[in-house]
């Protein structure tokens, strides 16, 4: 199993939207490195859902429910399907992530513009523990 973080502006599509919809195709990724990360996602991989721009916080957990397929918005690119698992009791802000020494090498900080980010199991668990 692998661990991921996906980023989205909550005004465009929030974690609450994902919960309401029950699942969604993760489309619109137009960065080659992020596309390669989408290709690596497998069914049941764990995902942290990050609200970018206005909130800058991890707000929920999800899982991959369908592996890579052609993005219906542009079939030259890749999409996956994700479904919600649960909303975090307390969002974990980017500032908190940056202040945690255990997360010093996390790609969320090192590659801040990347919209689909691989995580280690330790990084994933550390962020979850910060939300309690």
Give the CATH number for residue 66: 3.10.590.10
User: Which residues are bridge partners to 25 per DSSP?
Assistant: 81
Quick one: pLDDT at residue 9? 97
Span 6-57, pLDDT tens digits: 999 999 999 999 999 999 999 999 999 999 999 999 999 999 999 999 999 9
Quick one: pLDDT at residue 112? 86
Q: How many domains does the chain have?
A: 1
pTM of the model: 0.97
What is the domain extent for residue 91?
3-130
Q: What percent of the chain has pLDDT over 90?
A: 96
When pLDDT is averaged across residues 91-118 and rounded to a whole number, the result is: 95
**Are 130 and 100 in contact, with CB atoms under 8 Å apart?**
yes
Torsion angle (degrees, nearest 10) of CA 114, 125, 98, 17: 50
Contacts of 89 (CB under 8 A, 6+ apart): 131, 132
The rounded mean pLDDT for the chain is 97
Torsion angle (degrees, nearest 10) of CA 123, 21, 116, 28: -170
How many Å apart are CA 28 and CA 2, to the nearest integer?
22
When pLDDT is averaged across residues 103-107 and rounded to a whole number, the result is: 95
């Amino acid at each position: 199993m692998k661990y991921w973080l996906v980023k989205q502006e909550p005004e465009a599509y929030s974690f609450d939207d994902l919960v309401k919809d029950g699942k969604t195709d993760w489309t619109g990724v137009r960065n080659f490195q992020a596309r390669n990360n989408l290709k690596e996602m497998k069914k049941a991989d764990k995902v942290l859902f990050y609200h970018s721009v206005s909130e800058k916080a991890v707000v929920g957990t999800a899982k991959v429910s369908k592996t890579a397929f052609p993005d219906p918005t542009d079939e030259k690119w890749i999409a996956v399907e994700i479904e919600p698992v649960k909303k975090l009791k307390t969002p974990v802000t980017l500032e908190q992530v940056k202040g945690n020494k255990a997360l010093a090498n996390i790609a969320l900080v090192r590659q801040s513009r990347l919209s689909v980010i691989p995580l280690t199991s330790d990084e994933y668990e550390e962020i979850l523990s910060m939300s309690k």
